Structure 1
Amino acid sequence: MMIKNLRPPREEDFRSPLRSPTLTSVIGIALGIAFTLCMITGLISHLIQHPPGWFHWPTGPSWLYRVTQGVHVTTGMVSIPLLAVKLWSVAPKFWHRIPIKASRATMIALVERGTILLLVGSAFFEVLTGILNVAEAYLWPFFFPEVHYLMAWLLTGSVALHVAVKLPTVITALRRPARTAAPPGTTVSRRQLLAGTALAGVVIAIATLGDKLPALRGVSFLAQRSGNGPQGLPVNRTAAAAGITSAQVGTDYRLTVAGSRTVDLTLPDLIALPQRTVDLPIACVEGWSQLATWTGVRLADLLALTGDHDFAEVRMVSFDAGPYGRSVVARPLALHPDTLVALSLNGQVLDRDHGYPARLIAPNRPGSLQTKWLTRIEVVR
């Protein structure tokens, strides 16, 4: 008998007095701001790693990328409570029955319902895969950066379409806000619900900022990188994971610098060249960043050994055969005095997991492009 009476929920079954167009509009605006910041900073990161011909990323300030990518990950995390409350506030509308008949109103309603499902699906996909990427838990067969980037555009288009459809409703709701006092039978008001959502966002931000701001490391229980790796610096990809062998980085190690002339340098050769020490942050796409002291040979000095002064870019080649085993350095960054082939970190010889015997370190550049275990540097004219 109970099974016989089961039916799908209806819009009228949701009777919480806290739901209102004003609440939905305020949360929607906050979520829109978070998504916009996340999209812009994520797009910057994508363009840096896959630069089209028209894109130019400055060589400084050296900390700029750590800020933009930190904002990207933090706003993505903060969007979680905003998205949850937003969906709760409009949940009854998901069960609104659309009359199936050939009419303009029905077609509009079906299109609107479809765009909402697209928005919700893409939003959940971006947030969930973003969180798992930060945790380095890759539970999918696809290449994360490409799919995450494409879905970001799908989400952006869905949000833009949703805003265009709902903007009149938002304007009306904000001009005539619902009263914020708690209705009879409730324990919280709409204002308290909004304050609680904002507090949840702040707590999540603080809980994740410790991998970017050392002062918050003690309270950032969600931070993925603590700084407790070799030589006080986190490691994303270890030498073992990259398949680096002792033979490759042992006494027979050579760094080849290829241009008009080709020069093979041993590790003692590199150490004998003029050394420069710089303080530069390393900032990864997962959002974590940390300042460190690096010592090594200026890339510009190595390029000068080839006799090449007029070139377009420089290709850095690693022993690592993975997707980040090669990177390209544009001419302005290659000639920057703080761009080094680093040999030591924080006053010690590079740990193998940090790229021993030689790695790239350059200002304002994603960590995935700070190529480790260098074996070859090629001048590209």
Structure 2
Amino acid sequence: MSLDQVVVVGVSAAGLTAAETLRREGYTDRLVLVDGDQRPPYDRPPLSKQLLRGEWEEEKLTLRPPAALEGLDAEWRLGVRAERLDLAAGRLALADGSDIAFDGLVVATGVRPRALPFAVGRPGVHMLRTIEDALALRREVVPGAAVVVVGAGFLGTEAASVAAELGCRVTVIDPLELPLQRQLGPRIGQRVARLHRDHGVQLLCGRGVADVRETDGRVSGVVLDDGAEVAADVLLVAIGAEPVTDWLRGSGLTIDDGVQCDEFCQAAPGVVAAGDVASWLHPTLGRLRLEHRMNATEQGMAAARTLLGKRTPFAPVPYFWSDQYDVRIQVYGRPTAADFTAVEGSLDEGPFAAVQRDASGRTTAVAGWNMPRQLRALRQALVEQQAVRC
């Protein structure tokens, strides 16, 4: 299929990498990059760590220097959202009233944070997705502040660790019994809970949030599902995210927990998806949608190549990491809520490397706690095992 005009919607890690790959692989025609954020593409993992802590300023998050972005020879449409897709006509309507024709489309609109409906818009209540979000939260995470974090997943626990290190009084609330239980199972969840308690964080796990209290027009507390109240000067809502697909309603694409794609990241003829918004058929792991930084880059490249007719099944070994206090947690594979088993060190203290196996004894994921070298060796076993299954 001839491509005269390619539009990339969403220009964070996945969309930018897709655009770069198109140019690198020989696409020379018109390229239009659309994003609702007014800023040039920037990295998001540091928002809850280095930027929130004040170690980095916003300029350091920029993914590419200006000269590299200019070198893409693209038309940039920043600060304007995609409003509607007409797949049959090959046209994209934008929020400013304009529209763009295309014969190749990359969908990379990512995710947005899930909100607590009764907390939206209240002063002192924050969510964390953009640089502006992180800077607003940073201004309020000051020594002595009572910071309540709703959600004990990776984002919530990372932000809680930063707030505790900055001298805040931190409380984390989550309906599950342990932090990161859904992602890493109970044994590692217990270790993460102890890590936070050792740094003075109060964990209220197995609890829900029913309401938010205000005093003088600002959040002052959180009401739990049992009626108890927790004082709060600052409230961070970190209860997960949802794919940004509202602009695709009625487009003809299949939307179900993201944009449904085949194993080549293709959602329809001439349309591919990449990054957090893409739900694709992994050749060995089944249907996946990953909100991981490394996946965004790798899938952006794979999707661009598919658009150019260079179709190869996208079959990565998933990888993600989390930095909390002086600990780096790294995971390869597709973990479940089952327990890991240590193969070096102990899950209870000190560094460790651990594996998770399915009922047949096959390794499905490996996890490390400050043990990167050993984890790379375990990852290789996952790579070889996946190659055999393919």
> Going by fraction, where is helix more abundant, 1 or 2?
1
Please state which band the TM-score falls in when normalised by the shorter chain: under 0.3
Q: TM-score scaled to structure 1, two decimals?
A: 0.22
Report which of the two structures shows the higher radius of gyration computed on alpha carbons: 1
> Going by fraction, where is strand more abundant, 1 or 2?
2
Q: TM-score scaled to structure 2, two decimals?
A: 0.21
